[in-house]
């Protein structure tokens, strides 16, 4: 199974174009939050129309999974907490979105919403408890913020990790967590694009300007992950819990 992972596109339409062009080469395309941009001169209602159209187009090429980030919260729940209610419309079109789990190949894929307060946070815990695969399937989570005390949450000065997520990782032991949110993590000293948290591999693509987003390609059958950015390409062996990323001088076949 081949998965292409991006995050924090922040309404960068050239990066959505790049993603659409790359999508046919993968079994699943993941956007791990912050599809929209709160500071854009484009109203977010208009952003939603454009981004939703991109997602529907990509979903005609391959499977698509998304989760909300803090920039994607356009609505208010009855309890006053912010939410990305627009993702429900996409879910009806077959796109895996907030609060849903689906079988993709031999992997259970679970998309968690961004939590704006304790009610949503507690609901995520209940949702994860009810989404545990019953037949020993491998389990992949989409969760915009990285976990606390992880290099994937370090911005060069402080950690922006999610304490609740770390607790859920330790409780449920998913195989992989795909995150973003901390744009700088893969690019700064003591940060990173990949980490091992308990028994779980955690990834953060990072964010960069330009037409090509920083991205991660997961080859689950081969047990390898590749990170590609303006700084080059790195790879890690997912079959070795103690493995460290290594730089590559050759373009990996999965991205050809």
pLDDT tens, residue by residue, 180-229: 999 999 999 999 999 999 999 999 999 999 999 999 999 999 999 999 99
Query: What per-residue confidence (pLDDT) applies to 249?
Result: 85
Calculate the average pLDDT of the chain: 96
**Which of 149, 98, 106 lies closest to 128, judged by CA?**
98
**pLDDT confidence tier of residue 32, bands split at 50, 70 and 90:** very high
**Which of 237, 139, 126, 229 lies closest to 184, judged by CA?**
229
In terms of residue numbers, what domain contains 101?
Answer: 2-255
Per mean pLDDT, which range of 86-90, 129-133, 156-160 is the poorest? 86-90
Distance CA 30, CA 196 (A): 20
Query: What per-residue confidence (pLDDT) applies to 91?
Result: 82
**pLDDT confidence tier of residue 156, bands split at 50, 70 and 90:** very high
Assess whether pLDDT exceeds 90 at residue 252.
no
The CATH number that applies at residue 218 is 3.60.21.10
The 3 state secondary structure assigned to 164-187 is HHHHHHHHHCCCEEEECCCCCHHH
Question: What average pLDDT score do residues 66-71 get?
Answer: 98
Query: What per-residue confidence (pLDDT) applies to 44?
Result: 94
Assess whether pLDDT exceeds 90 at residue 134.
no
3-state secondary structure of 195: strand
Does the pTM surpass 0.85? The reply is yes
Query: What per-residue confidence (pLDDT) applies to 92?
Result: 82
| CB contact at 8 A, 31 and 70 | no
Question: What average pLDDT score do residues 54-63 get?
Answer: 97
Residue 164's CB: how many other CB atoms inside 10 A? 18
Q: How many domains does the chain have?
A: 1
| CB contact at 8 A, 98 and 111 | yes
Contacting residues for 240 by C-beta, under 8 A, at least 6 apart: none
Assess whether pLDDT exceeds 90 at residue 54.
yes
């Amino acid at each position: 199974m081949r998965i292409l992972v991006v995050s924090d596109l922040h309404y960068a339409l050239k990066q959505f174009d790049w993603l659409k062009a790359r999508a046919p080469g993968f079994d699943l395309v993941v956007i791990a939050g912050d599809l929209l941009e709160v500071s854009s001169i484009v109203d977010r209602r208009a952003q939603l129309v454009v981004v939703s159209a991109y997602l529907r187009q990509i979903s005609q090429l391959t499977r698509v999974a998304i989760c909300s980030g803090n920039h994607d919260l356009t609505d208010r729940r009855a309890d006053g907490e912010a939410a990305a209610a627009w993702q429900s419309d996409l879910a009806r079109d077959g796109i895996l979105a907030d609060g849903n789990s689906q079988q993709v190949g031999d992997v259970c894929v679970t998309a968690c919403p961004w939590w704006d307060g304790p009610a949503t946070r507690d609901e995520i815990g209940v949702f994860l408890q009810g989404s545990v695969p019953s037949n020993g399937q491998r389990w992949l989570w989409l969760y915009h913020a990285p976990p606390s005390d992880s290099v994937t949450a370090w911005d060069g000065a402080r950690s922006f990790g999610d304490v609740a997520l770390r607790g859920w990782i330790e409780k449920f032991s998913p195989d992989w967590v795909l995150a973003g949110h901390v744009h700088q993590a893969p690019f700064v000293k003591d940060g990173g694009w990949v980490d091992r948290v308990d028994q779980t591999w955690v990834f953060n693509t990072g964010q960069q300007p330009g037409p090509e987003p920083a991205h991660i390609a997961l080859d689950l059958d081969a047990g390898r992950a590749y990170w590609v950015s303006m700084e080059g390409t790195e790879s890690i062996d997912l079959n070795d819990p103690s493995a460290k990323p290594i730089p590559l001088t050759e373009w990996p076949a999965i991205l050809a």
